[in-house]
Chains A and B, each alone.
Chain A
């Protein structure tokens, strides 16, 4: 078998147009369009502005986390505790509601809890030099565990009515607050990763942390910031999800870390770090949203959809490899 890491040096560079045509993002976009067409043929209820708007709720919250997660994975780390951060942030907001807090305080608590959890992960990984995958498996159980201690089998309800705007409000016509926030965050993260020094540093760290350190990048600080961002995004997602559901149970957002990672990997981000783009993640978010929504319209139960997601996750990585094996 040939060494998978060996790279061919081409005689001439591929033209930008050809590169764009062959890119992962283009392939993904084609898949998204195919699913869109298949859905509209399969169900008469699919092509309806309000239905499509509802469909976006399937992915907006997860996609917000996926943006930050994409940067984290590109830098060579991972955070499996995101869903548990949502649970903890939601529990903290629920507890604040019982104490009579208003919407601004709730938002502050949600964001603060997210940042605090991100900082815990960041400190453990960057200060103590621990592998992120085990640390976040640990904090995954720790954060949700705290929610279980606080709530047990009970539920927090009674969120103020204006808090409902984040998950149920519409900015204009069919464009929900969540969808607009998703679009804004997509642009912010796109610029951050592709147009700033910080973004270049993220790629550099993912490709070779030692070389990045020698070229003057503060590797541990960048990683710490990425963990903070992932925590913050989980906090934002917690606010949106809690607002949309209107209640908090400790099992909230259970298993979301898998879907977030799937979204990132489906978006073409290398799970081993070093490459990937935000547009890819955005399209992947739409693909997953369309698949789950289309299957939902066809009355496919949620757990069967998770089989599709699992196959999708393995399939998108396996197919290109099978293709190269078959050709080479």
Chain B
């Protein structure tokens, strides 16, 4: 089992290296350290969101509301900045985290206390959060010139050669790599997803564990909301539209099993990096960005098929069972 999982990450690293090598063969500038840092920085939001999504999927749930959560938090931060330009960045960061966590908690409570299937909850809250942006902004844009320099400058401020956005992604990734392995909650995510019945007998509250997974996913979406709006210096209703699918794609490509309980943090990070490199490479090799959507779709299908193969090799299948959604 460990061997198989190890090989999944090794395989992804291999695929990424081959991909980068192929691009570098024709466009050596792509692999210059400066450009690779730019690609990583561009992928940072996807990495942060994919990590939050990973713990949700580990518990047999799915969070389709992350992009809407991101957009709503981003809009609130932007409007707050316009209203109060002197508000210090740590306050805005704290607010973004709190707002994101609240939206995640709403998802989590509906799943935990009312036992509504997660896909239904988050499909619903996705439209509600997205619609709320329109309500509070009246459909207006918040543009770069309205935001304060400190507000837009934070994610771009360079520390030891890397922008703050990249550092935050690294920090989140490091926290996840350690916390999921070492904390009781981190282990509970795997236990609950791997076998909910066994988890109950072990003394774990399945619903509450799922609730915390949603809170984590929401908090990270809120954090990314501020970073996203500040980095692109614009906030409007449709920012990051459809991004939730890219996030799920990153997880699936990273080997996180949609049936729950299987997959690693490293896999999710590699999955996000893979998508990020493809996205950034397309314009370099002269392919229209309109190919992006079809490519990530194909990548999802191939990755799911591959996931199924790996798990099937474990034993003989006597009866083909429908693997239940959610």
Query: Which residues does A use to contact B, with CB under 8 Å?
Result: 4, 76-78, 124, 128-135, 137-146, 148-149, 152, 205, 209-210, 213, 219-220, 223, 250, 258, 261-262, 265, 271-272, 301, 303-304, 306-307, 309-311, 313-314, 317-318, 321-322, 325
Contact = CB atoms under 8 A, between A and B. Distances in A.
B325 A133 contact: yes
B294 A310 contact: no
Given A133-B325, A145-B293, A321-B116, A311 B300 contact: no
B140 to A, nearest CB: 13
B288 A149 contact: yes
A89 B228 CA distance: 34
Main secondary structure of the interface of B (DSSP, over half): helix
11 contacts: A76-B324, A131-B259, A134-B252, A141-B293, A149-B294, A152-B290, A261-B120, A301-B134, A303-B134, A303-B139, A314-B124
A258 B132 CA distance: 17
Given A130-B305, A148-B293, 7 more contacts: A135-B301, A137-B300, A219-B322, A262-B123, A314-B116, A314-B128, A321-B115
Interface of B: 62, 110, 114-117, 119-121, 123-128, 130-132, 134-135, 139, 237, 245, 248-249, 252, 258-259, 288, 290-301, 304-305, 308, 312, 319-326
Contacts of A139: 297, 301
A103 B301 CA distance: 34
Contacts of B252: 134, 138
Given A140-B297, A303-B237, A317-B116, A77 B123 contact: no
Contact of A272 (B291, B323, B324): B324
Contact of A314 (B121, B249, B305, B312): B121
A145 B304 contact: no
B120 A271 contact: yes
Contacts of B292: 145
A185 B123 CA distance: 27
A307 B127 contact: yes
Contacts of B125: 310, 314
**B120, B249, B258 — most chain A CB neighbours (10 Å):** B120
Contacts of A143: 297
A318 B134 contact: no
A310 B126 contact: yes
Contact of B301 (A124, A303, A309, A310): A124
Nearest to A76: B322
A307 B290 contact: no
A325 B112 CA distance: 13
A209 B132 contact: no
A323 B116 CA distance: 14
